[in-house]
Amino acid sequence: MADYAAILGFIKSGGSNTIPVSFPYDVTPFKNAPVITFGGSYGGMLSAYIRRQYPSLVTGAIAASAPVWGLPLTNPPIDAGASFVGHGMTDQCAANFKSALVLINEIAKLNNGLEYLSQQLNMCDTATSTAEILDWLQVPWFDLAEGNFPFPSTYITFAVGPGSFPLPAWPIKVACEALGEDFAVKVEGDVGAVNFEVTIDAVAVAVDWDSTSNANAFALEQVTGSKIGELLGAVTAGVDVWCNVTGELTCNDPHACTGGRRRASASSPVSSPPSSSSSDSVCTVDISVDKSFNCWEPMNCNDDLNLPNTLAQGLGNDIYWPPTAPKGTTLESFLGERGVPGEGCEMQEGLYGFPKTSDPWSTRLDNELGGLNMDGYSNVVFSNGYLDPWASGGVRSAGWKKGDDSVIKLNEEGNSIALIIEDGAHHLDLFFPNEADPDSVLAAREVEKDMIKMWIEGEREKEGGRNGAVEL
């Protein structure tokens, strides 16, 4: 942001403020020009932050899908991201998916159960464990929800998945085409407390948090004579929207399907000591930068940018099972005691000045950038798509439901707002217009344009007042 601020200061001064790099463009026409920043995801966070940090340089900011309320000290639920994944699914589709996971866990215990499941799920080889199956089947859904756009797009698959292959339009709907059918699955009990029973035909499985039991002493014969095979085929078709996005695979290899959001383990450490060749070294990690070097993880570590709203799933508020954390797990369970430094980050490559310790609670960022306090944010639109799991860390997104006002004022002046896009996934409002765009994103863009006009007019009025005249 400081680099951008230096460039903006140079431009807004008409070139009179020097910068230590060559800038071979005539910037005199842009002296005192209003500046509007745009950003999506992490870029959305920066868009809002730079307006807050440099208000004399930045007139206003569009901060799309910016999880600025996902930092630890804002106290987000550890399963907040997972709870948003099902927003684009029908209730039937979501219930069928969770029920299938439960059934799989118990069927795998039967004689020849893994062989049956592997066949029904069209796996290339017989699964060696239940976890192998359950992990694979749960990989794609966060990414499908994040990329649930109304048109084919390679954005999410290229960023975190199999490569530059387009997902279909509305991929969650496509994944639910078969999975949303009625397989006569019954779910009874307290799903929110993860204490319930799943029944399909003559097969019943009882769930108690992370364990299942055979509720009616069924055998594999009852499984094969039920609709479970059809249900498992529908689950496979749904998962293949991501895992077989090219349509070229003839069978499924669970280890070949990757995504941007992995299931968390409550027992796994959040961080571990960095690699160091010498305790006296200026650089505390060995550096080997090449074309494949990815600066994302080192940057997160360097800035202590932690977003714990995606630490867990399956806690009763989402489509997943089993829970990835014990009952009663808190943020402290993952991050450690507040105020106690961490041990750095697990990076073999990093940045010069890589810190030897870390702050899992992101205290500096919270203090510097306001946390839940919006007082320092004037002239900012925080837009979030209701279908996007990252909206779980967005301003005023948690608790929003269909039918609520999509525009929420954040201050009395009305120059900063939270904007909820009912049919939007990850910063859809910043994409190029498309004839398939839903009405909610078209309306959102109009709101954003109106806000920008208001900010610019307000700045011109202030500038005119400082110069003794106002042009209207």
User: Is residue 42 within a helix (H) or strand (E), and if so which, with residue range?
Assistant: helix 42-53
Residue 261's pLDDT is 55
- Ranges 28-32, 242-246, 458-462: which has the least confidence: 458-462
> Both 118 and 250 in a single domain?
yes
Give the range with max mean pLDDT: 250-264, 279-293, 380-394.
Answer: 380-394
Please give the order of strands across the beta sheet that includes 185-190. Answer: 185-190, 195-200, 203-208, 211-214
Residue 210's pLDDT is 97
How many Å apart are CA 382 and CA 420, to the nearest integer? 8
Give percent above pLDDT 70 in the chain.
89
> Both 85 and 56 in a single domain?
no
| Residue 275 CB partners (closer than 8 Å, separation 6+) | 285, 286, 347, 348
Quick check: 204 pLDDT over 50?
A: yes
Angle, helices 130-138 vs 91-107, to 10°: value is 160
Q: What are phi and psi of 319, to 5 degrees?
A: -90, -5
How many Å apart are CA 430 and CA 194, to the nearest integer? 38
Instruction: CATH number of the domain at 205, please.
Output: 1.20.120.980
> Both 38 and 140 in a single domain?
no
How many Å apart are CA 159 and CA 390, to the nearest integer? 15
User: Is residue 242 within a helix (H) or strand (E), and if so which, with residue range?
Assistant: helix 228-243
191 within domain boundaries: yes
118 within domain boundaries: yes
Q: Which stretches does DSSP call E strand in 201-331?
A: 203-208, 211-214
Q: Which of 201, 226, 256 is the last residue of a domain?
A: 256
In angstroms, the Cα distances linking 56 to 52, 59, 180, 308 are 10, 7, 52, 32
Angle, helices 91-107 vs 171-179, to 10°: value is 60
> Both 59 and 177 in a single domain?
no
Quick check: 231 pLDDT over 80?
A: yes
Cβ 148 vs Cβ 387: under 8 Å: yes
User: Is residue 441 within a helix (H) or strand (E), and if so which, with residue range?
Assistant: helix 439-466
pLDDT class of 80 with cuts at 50, 70, 90 = very high
DSSP-derived pairing of the beta strands 195-200 and 185-190: antiparallel
- Helix ranges restricted to H, 108-219: 113-120, 130-138, 140-146, 155-160, 171-179
DSSP code for 167? B
> Both 173 and 42 in a single domain?
no
pLDDT class of 469 with cuts at 50, 70, 90 = very low
* β partners of residue 385: 421
| Residue 341 CB partners (closer than 8 Å, separation 6+) | 357, 358, 359
Residue 359 corresponds to which amino acid? D
In angstroms, the Cα distances linking 294 to 27, 274, 300, 425 are 33, 16, 11, 25
The closest of 261, 248, 321, 310 to 141, measured between CA atoms, is 261
Average pLDDT over the chain reads: 89
Preceding amide of 254 cis, omega within 30: no
200 within domain boundaries: yes
Residue 162's pLDDT is 87
> Both 139 and 54 in a single domain?
no
* Domain count within the chain: 2
**Sole residue written with tokens 């085409």:** 177
> Both 51 and 93 in a single domain?
no
Q: Which of 204, 236, 256 is the last residue of a domain?
A: 256
pLDDT digits (tens, 9 = 90+) for 233-279: 999 999 999 999 999 999 999 999 987 654 333 333 233 333 334 44
The closest of 368, 260, 365 to 302, measured between CA atoms, is 365
Q: Which of 256, 281, 296 is the last residue of a domain?
A: 256
pLDDT digits (tens, 9 = 90+) for 141-180: 999 999 999 999 999 998 888 889 999 999 999 999 999 9
> Both 153 and 49 in a single domain?
no
Give the residue-averaged pLDDT of 427-442: 98
pLDDT digits (tens, 9 = 90+) for 345-369: 665 554 555 677 889 999 999 999 9
267 within domain boundaries: no
CB atoms near residue 404 (< 10 Å):
12
How many Å apart are CA 17 and CA 24, to the nearest integer? 14
283 within domain boundaries: no
Domain of residue 251, residue span: 80-256
> Both 87 and 235 in a single domain?
yes
DSSP-derived pairing of the beta strands 417-421 and 380-385: parallel
Residue 217, classified by CB atoms within 10 Å of its CB into exposed (0-12), middle (13-18) or buried (19+), is exposed
Residue 399, classified by CB atoms within 10 Å of its CB into exposed (0-12), middle (13-18) or buried (19+), is exposed
144 within domain boundaries: yes
CB atoms near residue 116 (< 10 Å):
20
Q: Which stretches does DSSP call E strand in 241-360?
A: none
Structure tokens at 433: 């217009």
Cβ 200 vs Cβ 228: under 8 Å: yes
74 within domain boundaries: no
> Both 127 and 162 in a single domain?
yes
62 within domain boundaries: yes
> Both 88 and 63 in a single domain?
no
> Both 105 and 245 in a single domain?
yes
- The number of angstroms, rounded, from the C-alpha of 237 to the middle of its chain's C-alpha atoms is 23
Structure tokens at 233: 């085929």
